[in-house]
Amino acid sequence: MTARRPKVRTELTVVELDGEAVVYDEESMDVHRFNPSATVILGLLDGSATVEELAVDISDVFGQRREDVLAQLDELIRQLDEGHILEPV
């Protein structure tokens, strides 16, 4: 998964309120709410960076171990895939 360049589906409506994102999928009528940390990550998922590159950047900014960040990022991306938030692989 680390070579993947995840991208949020462009047809979703994303609104940020008080640092948290609300994502609405008009097709399925699903609504998803993201905490502030996930909202920051969601904003980074534009298809320009690999999961590995994102993990390196995030770990540098927050002073966390890259392996820990990568594991958390992989889990978030898995959840976003399950929720049909990301472009299909």
Q: What is the pLDDT of residues 50-83, one digit of tens each?
A: 999 999 999 999 999 999 999 999 999 999 999 9
Rounded to 10 degrees, what is the CA torsion of 33, 48, 84, 38? -20
pLDDT tens digits, one per residue of 33-48: 999 999 999 999 999 9
Residue ranges per structural domain of the chain: 13-82
Q: What is the pTM assigned to this prediction?
A: 0.89
* Cα distance from N-terminal residue to C-terminal residue, the chain: 10
Q: Which CATH superfamily is domain 13-82 in?
A: Coenzyme PQQ synthesis protein D (PqqD) (1.10.10.1150)
Does the structure show a pLDDT above 90 at 1?
A: no
